């Protein structure tokens, strides 16, 4: 029997009669991936107009990016804010997720809903709200202000990822440790945390990326010497098509792809254990 | 004598029970106290600023309570146009995502998990890539001298470059691309949970593949599809970056208008009022959804 006349599913539909689905899916996957990937070769073009494929290859736009004090400063800010957001959101996310998972208190549901509001409230409102509030306390254009706002955005993601990790782990292991005399804190750090480490790492990476990629709050709340990469990129996009952005985009695509593959790798390792 | 003994041990047990209960309550509180730091962040960044905006939106020019900011919205035609554009873009994007996302999610759900994981990277990669980068990519692809125009002219689809960006077309293409993973991921999860025996049974009872799909599989996948569509719709309502860049000033959604009011008129009352309307629309959609479809279960896997 050839491949296409073989049944593809329980309804005995054949691969041949599913061919349209395979073709369509391939096209949609191409549409999903291609646009961002096509920027990569274009960033190596020597031309002012982004060509594909480039007629002359060069590193001109990378030199432009690396040689610009403004872009370098913004990149440093974005990394700094992303890293600090990760350091704030991950432990707070672990604490909240663990508490909500273990606690049998009536209020847990309400608290959970409160903690995930940053996912529900349109970001523009968080942006103008914090901009207004920070204006009152002089926290606009500060790293601390941006980190705090980005942490609020990252927290729900961290909590959801870590809760998923806790759910796939058998909590009775912690109870065994406690019945053998470990305190709850000790049992958590020695038994639970190592078992949910892949969720914790994923939550940390996602927190970093949430901050690093965030645009709207950064537009309002960051500025001056502490303006982020995305703020400058957005300003550049609105005015004209600057090929330097292609170089920066390429670096960002590589960064996020690397982080994604890292979580996939850790995830498959986590399942294997 | 025996009875007194029994009484004594019962009251002793009561004592223990009370102590245990107290200890249990104390432990419950100490566990719950772990959420305090996260809650403080949310209160500082979300609750207080939002309440402030809410208050500002009801503040009149004279400093007293007034509905003038909301009244303005019903008066000016420009506001009406913005609400129409916002709903139009959100609905069209959601429909495009369903049309593209359903087949792909179905395809992925039919694959053995190993292969699904590999192909799923095509969904996760854009999901993880900065939306600014993706918006930029579309700006480059769709511009007058961009790849799409060049390609179409080479193939002979059209003669002169057509305007694909800085308008509604470009905005919708970019938004659909950005939102697609938000539909596919919950839909895929819902499809994976559909019992394979259902389709087996349908086939066994004489349904052909098409019948089995529409009468058994599709209805079972509907909650996942609705959950995904609502996420997309709600995210679209508050979208800012993509319409600002790919719309070229011609697609003004609520978020764009809020920024414009603040940039040009510095009118916090008007901007806040518009924000409150956006928030109410978003919350209302989610509330209805939660009532109808046990939405959070589909979203977060929580009952």
Give the confidence band of A135 by pLDDT, cuts at 50, 70, 90.
very high
pLDDT above 90 for B248: no
First-residue to last-residue Cα distance in chain A: 39
SS (H, E, C) B6-25: HHHHHHHHHHHHHHHHHHHH
A25 and A143 both lie in a single domain: no
What pLDDT is recorded for position B149? Answer: 87
pLDDT above 90 for B42: yes
A121, A145, A164, A240: best to mutate for the B interface, most B CBs within 10 A: A121
Domain span including residue A8: 3-60
Taking residues A102-118, what's their average pLDDT?
89
A144 and A204 both lie in a single domain: yes
Helices (H), chain A: 19-42, 60-67, 69-102, 108-115, 117-120, 123-137, 143-167, 172-179, 184-187, 193-195, 197-213, 216-221, 229-239, 243-272
What pLDDT is recorded for position A263? Answer: 85
Taking residues B251-266, what's their average pLDDT?
92
Using a CB-CB cut-off of 8 Å, the residues of chain B touching A103 are: 28, 31-32
Closest Cα in chain B to A129: B49
d(CA A255, CA A259): 6
Q: Which of residues 187-206 of A touch B (CB under 8 A)?
A: none
A84 and A153 both lie in a single domain: yes
A156 and A135 both lie in a single domain: yes
Taking residues A11-27, what's their average pLDDT?
86
d(CA B148, CA B143): 8
Residues in chain A: 273
- Read off the pTM: 0.89
Q: Is A19 on the interface with B (CB under 8 A)?
A: no
Taking residues B190-203, what's their average pLDDT?
87
A199 and A132 both lie in a single domain: yes
pLDDT above 80 for A212: yes
Query: Poorest-confidence range of B3-17, B47-61, B71-85?
Result: B3-17
The answer to whether the CB atoms of B50 and A125 lie below 8 A apart is: yes
d(CA B136, CA A237): 7
The answer to whether the CB atoms of B278 and A132 lie below 8 A apart is: no
Query: Poorest-confidence range of A259-268, B36-45, B51-60, B186-195?
Result: A259-268
**pLDDT tens across A171-208, in order?**
888 889 988 988 888 999 999 999 899 999 999 999 99
Helices (H), chain B: 2-32, 36-42, 48-57, 68-75, 77-110, 113-128, 131-142, 147-155, 168-192, 196-204, 209-212, 218-237, 241-246, 254-264, 268-293, 295-300
Give the confidence band of B119 by pLDDT, cuts at 50, 70, 90.
very high
d(CA B192, CA A108): 29
Give the confidence band of B301 by pLDDT, cuts at 50, 70, 90.
very low
d(CA A160, CA B132): 24
The dihedral through the CA atoms of B280, B285, B286, B288 has a sign that is positive
pLDDT above 90 for A23: yes
Give the confidence band of B204 by pLDDT, cuts at 50, 70, 90.
confident
B113 token code pair = 């998990």
Give the confidence band of B1 by pLDDT, cuts at 50, 70, 90.
very low
A101 and A219 both lie in a single domain: yes
Of A92, A125, A253, which is closest to B53 when you measure between CB atoms?
A: A125
Give the confidence band of B10 by pLDDT, cuts at 50, 70, 90.
low
Using a CB-CB cut-off of 8 Å, the residues of chain A touching B302 are: 112, 163
**pLDDT tens across B214-236, in order?**
988 999 999 889 889 998 999 99
pLDDT above 70 for A70: yes
Taking residues A64-87, what's their average pLDDT?
95
Give the confidence band of B2 by pLDDT, cuts at 50, 70, 90.
very low
Residue written as token pair 């990016």 = A65
A123 and A212 both lie in a single domain: yes
Query: Poorest-confidence range of A94-103, A233-242, B112-121, B256-265?
Result: A233-242
**pLDDT tens across A216-228, in order?**
999 999 988 899 9
pLDDT above 80 for A10: no
Nearest CA distance, B206 vs chain A (angstrom): 10
Residue written as token pair 């603040």 = B262
What pLDDT is recorded for position A30? Answer: 94
A177 and A94 both lie in a single domain: yes
A7, A21, A36, A264: best to mutate for the B interface, most B CBs within 10 A: A36
**What residue segments make up the domains of chain B, in order of their start?**
1-57, 76-300
Closest Cα in chain B to A89: B38
B246 token code pair = 């790919």
Number of domains in chain A: 2
Taking residues A96-115, what's their average pLDDT?
90
Taking residues A226-245, what's their average pLDDT?
86
Percent of chain B residues topping a pLDDT of 70: 92
SS3 call for B65: strand
Mean pLDDT of chain A, nearest integer:
89
- ipTM at complex level: 0.89
Which own/partner pairs from B106-110 qualify as long-range (CB within 8 Å, at least 24 positions apart)? B106/A21, B106/B191, B106/B221, B107/A21, B107/A22, B107/A24, B107/A25, B108/A25, B108/B184, B108/B188, B108/B191, B109/B188, B109/B191, B109/B192, B109/B194, B110/A8, B110/A9
Give the confidence band of A269 by pLDDT, cuts at 50, 70, 90.
low
Nearest CA distance, A194 vs chain B (angstrom): 19
Give the confidence band of B25 by pLDDT, cuts at 50, 70, 90.
confident
A76 and A55 both lie in a single domain: no
Q: Is A104 on the interface with B (CB under 8 A)?
A: yes
Taking residues B45-54, what's their average pLDDT?
96
Q: Is the peptide bond before B160 cis (omega within 30 degrees of 0)?
A: no
CA B198 to chain CA centroid, nearest Å: 30
pLDDT above 80 for B14: no
Nearest CA distance, A189 vs chain B (angstrom): 15
pLDDT above 50 for B37: yes
- How many degrees, rounded to 5, is the angle at CA B256 between CA B254 and CA B259? 110
Q: Is A259 on the interface with B (CB under 8 A)?
A: yes
A267 and A237 both lie in a single domain: yes
Taking residues B162-188, what's their average pLDDT?
93
SS3 call for B160: coil
In DSSP terms, A57 is beta-bridged to A45
Of B140, B238, B271, which is closest to A42 when you measure between CB atoms?
A: B140
A263 and A230 both lie in a single domain: yes
SS3 helix, strand, coil % of chain A, rounded to 5?
A: 75, 0, 20
Query: For position A73, which CATH number holds?
Result: 1.10.3720.10
CATH class of B76-300: mainly alpha
Taking residues B78-100, what's their average pLDDT?
95
The answer to whether the CB atoms of A25 and B107 lie below 8 A apart is: yes
What pLDDT is recorded for position B279? Answer: 95
B258 token code pair = 């809020």
Contact B258, B275 (CB under 8 A): yes
d(CA A84, CA B274): 32
What pLDDT is recorded for position A266? Answer: 79
pLDDT above 60 for B6: no
A153 and A221 both lie in a single domain: yes
């Amino acid at each position: 029997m050839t491949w296409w006349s073989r049944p593809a599913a329980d309804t005995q539909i054949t691969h041949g009669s599913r061919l349209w689905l395979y073709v369509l899916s391939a096209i949609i996957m191409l549409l999903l991936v291609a646009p961002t990937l096509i920027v990569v070769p274009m960033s190596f073009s020597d031309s002012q107009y982004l060509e594909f494929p480039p007629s002359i290859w060069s590193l001109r736009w990378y030199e432009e990016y690396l040689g610009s004090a403004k872009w370098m400063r913004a990149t440093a800010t974005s990394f700094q804010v992303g890293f600090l957001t990760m350091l704030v959101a991950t432990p707070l996310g672990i604490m909240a997720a663990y508490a909500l998972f273990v606690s049998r208190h009536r209020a847990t549901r309400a608290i959970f809903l409160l903690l995930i509001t940053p996912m529900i409230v349109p970001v523009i409102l968080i942006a103008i709200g914090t901009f207004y509030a920070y204006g009152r306390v002089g926290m606009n254009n500060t790293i601390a202000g941006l980190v705090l706002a980005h942490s609020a955005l990252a927290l729900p993601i961290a909590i959801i990822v870590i809760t998923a990790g806790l759910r796939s782990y058998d909590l009775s292991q912690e109870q065994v440790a406690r019945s053998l005399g470990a305190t709850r804190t000790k049992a958590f750090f020695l038994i639970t945390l190592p078992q949910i480490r892949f969720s914790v790492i994923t939550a940390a990476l996602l927190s970093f990326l949430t901050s690093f990629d965030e645009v709207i709050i950064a537009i309002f709340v960051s500025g001056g010497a502490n303006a982020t990469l995305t703020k400058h990129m957005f300003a550049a996009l609105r005015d004209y098509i600057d090929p330097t952005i292609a170089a920066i985009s390429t670096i960002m695509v590589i960064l996020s792809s690397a982080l994604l593959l890292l979580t996939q790798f850790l995830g498959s390792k986590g399942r294997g254990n | 004598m025996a009875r007194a003994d029994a009484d004594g041990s019962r009251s002793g047990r009561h004592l223990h029970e009370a102590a245990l209960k107290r200890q249990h309550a104390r432990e419950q509180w100490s566990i719950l106290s772990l959420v305090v730091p996260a809650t403080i962040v949310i209160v500082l960044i979300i609750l207080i600023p939002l309440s402030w905006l809410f208050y500002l939106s009801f503040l009149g020019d004279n400093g007293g309570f007034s509905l003038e900011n909301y009244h303005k919205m019903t008066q000016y035609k420009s506001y009406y146009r913005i609400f129409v554009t916002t709903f139009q873009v959100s609905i069209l994007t959601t429909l495009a995502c369903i049309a593209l996302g359903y087949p792909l999610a179905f395809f992925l759900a039919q694959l053995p998990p190993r292969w699904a994981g590999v192909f799923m990277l095509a969904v996760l990669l854009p999901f993880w890539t900065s939306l600014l980068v993706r918006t930029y990519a579309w700006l480059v692809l769709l511009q007058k001298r961009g790849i799409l125009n060049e390609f179409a002219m080479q193939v002979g689809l059209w003669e002169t470059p057509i305007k694909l960006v800085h308008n509604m077309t470009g905005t919708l293409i970019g938004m659909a691309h950005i939102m697609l993973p938000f539909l596919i991921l919950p839909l895929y999860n819902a499809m994976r949970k559909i019992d394979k025996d259902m389709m087996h049974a349908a086939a066994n009872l004489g349904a052909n593949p098409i019948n089995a799909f529409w009468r058994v599989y599709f209805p079972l996948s509907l909650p996942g599809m609705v959950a995904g569509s609502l996420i997309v719709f709600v995210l679209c309502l508050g979208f800012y970056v993509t319409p600002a860049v790919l719309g070229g000033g011609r697609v003004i959604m609520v978020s764009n208008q809020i920024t414009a009011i603040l940039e040009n008129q510095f009118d916090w009352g008007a901007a806040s009022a518009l924000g409150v309307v956006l928030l109410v629309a978003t919350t209302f959609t989610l509330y209805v959804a939660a009532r109808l479809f046990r939405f959070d279960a589909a979203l977060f896997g929580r009952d």
